[in-house]
Structure 1
């Protein structure tokens, strides 16, 4: 099995220093959309629920939205400016995998959710394209490398990039963060 992991763009809120609004959607940039046009039509395309394919050329692939591939739920912090968080809360949010914003999800819980989905994939010869936010792709890759949630801050996956994983008696990562545009 081979997974082609495409990182969407970062939400506009995030680029301005805000935690993305709860229902914000990330989009594909031109380079990612162009690469997707080269994918074989029988390849299953799996997308996170916070990624939009609207405005892109119609893809002939089978598309499946997978809730487990959504980015972190920041609870009451959605839409807040990072400067409005206390230094202690910001430090805990960035460094403590078990810290949860009020009514939100910890990085550890997201990591486990994404790893659970990866572990549920049937080992077959098919190829799949995964389109999700960069943080989700980063966590998939860390699972593929056999790492833990403590590695989340040590691996960069830029927006509009491709990373590849394959499975044969265990996951292997063959490409990380190759620009697509």
Structure 2
């Protein structure tokens, strides 16, 4: 099962794009969007979680994708804590952490990042402007022997950690930051953008 964490402030078509790609490219049976209480690496707090959950649920309507606030219910704040709690709660479920290439570029700044790599396989989806920085990152260099390349990426969901894969996708330029800056942070605007209206 893929786990795509983030503030989703707001959720947008780019999130939908990488989620569908992750299901297909990494051989996943399901994906959970983990709508976080807040990002420890960001100084500004997100919109209320109820608003973000509602917008995400309107936007991401797919039978294999579930929107959840489980981090809030678990009381975890960092990814490593969340993964440990999920693995304890869902014994036997094979989790894969999903993230954009922008996150891989600074992954070594995450709390307990090496524990994350040791716990679960990691699927990295290329986003605009972050490919080179991600591929040259400390994490990519340190775990180069654990990378699944080409068609092997499809086996990521069954791989034993540490394992990771980096896939290039047709790009969707939308970002939550750009949406907030443009003042389009409303449910109807985000859903309209996602549908191409």
Structure with more strand by fraction: 1
Quick one: higher RCO (CA 8 Å, sep 6+), 1 or 2?
1
- More helix by proportion, 1 or 2? 2
Q: TM-score, normalised by structure 1?
A: 0.37
